[in-house]
Structure 1
Amino acid sequence: MNLVVVGGGLQGLELCYLANKANIETTLIDKKEDPIAKGLADNFISMDVTDSVDRLRKKFEKHSYLVPATESLDALRCLDNEFDGKDILFDFKSFFLTSDKKRMYQMLSENTKVPPRATVDSDFPVIVKPVRGSGSKGIRKISSESEFKKFKSGKKDFSNNYLAQKYLKGRQYSTEAVVKNGRLYSYQTTLLEFQSDYGCCRIVCNPNIPKEIINKQKKAIKDIYKSFSEINYLFDVQTLFDGKELYLIEINARFPSQTPISVYWSTGINLLNQLIKPQEHMIDGAPVILEHFKLNNNNIEIISEAKLLEGSDYRIKKKLPGCKEAIIGKTDNNKKIGTAIFKEKNLIEIEKQRKKFYKTIK
């Protein structure tokens, strides 16, 4: 089996890693000459798919499946228009619906019993985020009305391009689900941890996540599945629990990053395989922590996932002291940067192994 991955950023890195674990040959396509996923792919072609449709079609003829790993609307529209979608593991319609956060929140508020985070323009502090895009890019906490007015005045067409929401404190969770042939499959719930810039820096697979949270996540997934009657392939649901209420943060109708690798190491379930042939699984999983780091002046800095884009030449590293596996690259000044994966019988043992790994990696 072989796979075309279109997009060599964070999602492409995730897909190439999981393809490696599934013994699936990958051909990575990206318009950049040196995307971060390049070192994990079996083959690489630098091209812009919007300008090279015929070339891509010929390449796809020799492969089993194609997975878009980009959020470029131009690239996705091109793939949607030029290919019949039979062997493209992606739901274009649902992605286009949910990539507009305002429209997504409206649909969720009408169709789910788990409330989305309220949209507000008062009752400070508030969180302001771009209507389009994922990750932490452009997210900002605003603490006062005067600060909010100043921010709005500096943004063109604020009401159409940005969203202001109630600021909430609590733990954030993520659960992946796959829909294929009209059937819904859901997988492990993970805990997300963030930096002060709202970028996710760590995924925790913890068997002790409260059953209440897991059950509410499953209920939210079922509600979303019913709301998007034609949804297919993989989507993830992110929520926040403030101690009393579980709030929907967002859904992403595309292959995510970070959590699939974490789920793989915790449960043995490869979500890339699940896209192709999903199966029911009743596995709680082992304790796993996946986190991103950078070596900075001989000090270890835990970083948000987005900062991995500052590195290059990433490779899978095995048999490292204290660490089950790592994806390590280098920065422009030749410092190590990457993702480390820890797995032990409990989180206390993981902390011991983390200290061992970071002492060694220096």
Structure 2
Amino acid sequence: MRLGIVGGMLQGIESAYLARKAGFETLVIDRRPDAPALSLADECMVLDVVRHRTEARRALSDCDAVLPANENLETLTVLDRMLRDSETPLLFDLESYNVSRSKALSNQMMEDLNVPTPRPWPGCGFPAVVKPSGQSGSAGVVKVRNEGELERGLRRIEEMDEDAIVQEFVEGPNVSIEVIGDGNQATPMVLTEVVLDNAYDCKMVRCPIPEFNPEVADALRDHGCKIAENLALRGIMDLEAIIHNGAAKVLEFDARIPSQTPAAVLHATGINLVEVLFDALVEGVLNTTVPNHHGAAIYEHIIVDGEVMRSCGEGTFSQVKDPRLQAGLFGSDEMITDYAPGRESWHATIICAGDSPQEAWNKRQSCLEQIMEKNKITQYVDSVPEMER
């Protein structure tokens, strides 16, 4: 099977990695010649699919399916129109994405479905969070503690040409779950913990979540299925929530292939979300059995610069140059990295798995120690969000 992946940044890295693990041949297309996923593909093309549609259509017509791995609305719309009446399936639901990309629309849907979310301004008081309606993840998000910071946050969103969403700031573990739908029914996948850096960017994913309340887990699966079935989702989405005072508050859902969490799910459970998505939308087979855990995995970004090693968020890791997949490096299971012996500065995504969360954690600790010892690193900086200091 040959999978066309359009987008070469973080989602492209994730898609190319999972496709390789599923045994698919991959074609990765991106308009940027330095997009990191290009080096992970069997074949790559530097091409703007919006400006060069005929060439893009010709290249993608040789694929068994196409997976968009980007959040550029113009590109996604072009792909939807290009492949809608073709014989090449598109593993993406543009209508669902258009709802999820608007926090105003998605928050209204969750309110209508009685999905618990952070309280809106002004009833929530301070501290609060100001975020752009049309961005996902931590992009443009700022915590505000008073009226002055709120005004500055609102101006910043206005400068982004976005509508502002203001909600209560909730503290607690950040968790995520993917849901895959075939347009008629939806299946929740595996819960993961998303660990954040000081910029509230994902630096680590843990699967499973240690000592997680099974009732909260069931509630999150139900919320995800309820949203996906209301959307009539024909694709994949992820739902992100904060566990606050023992209950889940859903922050957002995004109807597109996520980055980071699927690789952790694969190494912890053996479940490949790209393969499940392909089976659902191409083969017409969606397994509705809720997956069980068989092991554990930790997925973590680092950057090395001289004698200093830092944990880093996904945004910093995305600056990696020509990454390769290296098995067993420094005692890890695998790394996605631009490391080379003698190189002073390099990035890595470290994947460590085990039969239990403790075994995976011990392997991760040993891996970091080996990196420091063999690269003569004297300092390790692990940044955390302000609320954890």
| 2:358 corresponds to | 348
The equivalent of 1:218 in structure 2 is 221
**1:8 aligned residue:** 8
Identify if the C-alpha distance between structure 1 residues 211 and 46 changes in structure 2 by more than 3 Å, giving closer, same or farther: same
Structure 1 counterpart of 2:37: 37
Change in 2 beyond 3 A, CA 1:158/1:23 = closer
Identify the residue that residue 141 of structure 1 maps to in structure 2. 143
Show the counterpart of 1:48.
Answer: 48
Alignment equivalent of 1:298, drawn from 300, 307, 311: 307
Computed over aligned residues only, the root mean square deviation of the Cα atoms, in angstroms, reads: 2.0
1:337 aligns with 2:341: no
Shift of 1:58: 1.0
For the residues of structure 1 that align with 2:157 and 2:240, how far apart are their CA atoms?
27
Distance in 2 (CA, whole Å) between partners of 1:153 and 1:250 is 22
Q: In structure 2, how many angstroms separate the alpha carbons of the residues matched to 1:219 and 1:136?
A: 25
Deviation at 1:71, TM superposition (A): 0.5
Q: 1:103 to 1:348 in 2, by over 3 A?
A: same
Aligned to 2:115: 114
Q: Corresponding residue for 1:227? A: 230
Q: Contact 2:323 / 2:336 at 8 angstroms: preserved in 1?
A: yes
| DSSP-derived class of the 2:136 partner | coil
Q: Deviations over 1:200-243 (max 9, x none)?
A: 11111126322122111111022213421x21111111111112
Q: Which residue of structure 2 lines up, in the alignment, with residue 204 of structure 1?
A: 206
Distance in 2 of aligned mates of 1:28 and 1:215: 36
Structure 1 alignment gaps of length 5 or more: none
Relative distance call for 1:66 and 1:334 in structure 2 (3 A) is: farther
SS in 1 for 2:259: coil
Cα distance between partner residues in 2 of 1:334 and 1:172: 33
Instruction: Give the aligned residue type for 1:302.
Output: S
Look up the equivalent residue of 2:275 and give its one-letter code.
N
Q: Secondary structure at the match of 2:143?
A: strand
Partner of 2:182: 180
Give how far 1:349 is off. 3.0
Say which SS state the counterpart of residue 309 (structure 2) adopts: strand
**Aligned partner of residue 63 in structure 2, secondary structure:** coil
Alpha-carbon distance in 1 for matches of 2:73, 2:4: 18
Report deviation, 1:60: 1.7
Unaligned runs of 5+ in 2: 280-285, 376-389
Deviation at 1:285, TM superposition (A): 3.0
Aligned residue pairs, count? 359
Contact kept, 8 Å, 2:268 with 2:353, in 1: the verdict is yes
Aligned AA (2:221): K
More off after superposition, 156-165 vs 272-281: 156-165
> Which residue type is aligned with residue 335 of structure 1?
S
Using the alignment, how far apart are the partners of 2:119 and 2:161 within structure 1?
Answer: 16
SS in 2 for 1:208: coil
Is contact 2:115–2:250 with CA below 8 Å preserved after alignment?
Answer: yes
CA 1:284 to 1:338, structure 2 compared with 1: closer, same or farther past 3 Å? same
Q: Is 1:238 aligned to 2:248, yes or no?
A: no
Comparing 61-70 and 278-287, the one that deviates more: 278-287
Check whether the contact 1:71–1:133 (CA below 8 A) recurs between aligned residues. no
Kept in 2, the 8 Å contact 1:117–1:166? The answer is yes
Amino acid at match of 2:2: N
Distance 1:100 1:203 in 2: 25
Give me the TM-score of the superposition, normalised by structure 2.
0.87
Distance 1:12 1:109 in 2: 32
The answer as to 2:103 corresponding to 1:93 is: no
Counterpart secondary structure, 2:158 = coil
Deviation at residue 199 of structure 1 after TM alignment: 0.4
| Amino acid paired to 1:220 | H
Q: Deviations over 1:117-171 (max 9, x none)?
A: 2221461111111111222221111111122123334553789522111000111
Q: What is the percentage of aligned positions where both structures have the same residue?
A: 27
Residue 282 of structure 1 deviates from its aligned partner by: 3.5
Report what 1:271 is aligned to.
273
Q: Is the 8 A contact 2:27 2:41 kept in 1?
A: yes
The Cα of 1:23 is off from its aligned counterpart by 1.3
Instruction: Tell me the TM-score normalised to structure 1 length.
Output: 0.93
Aligned residue for 1:247, secondary structure, equals strand
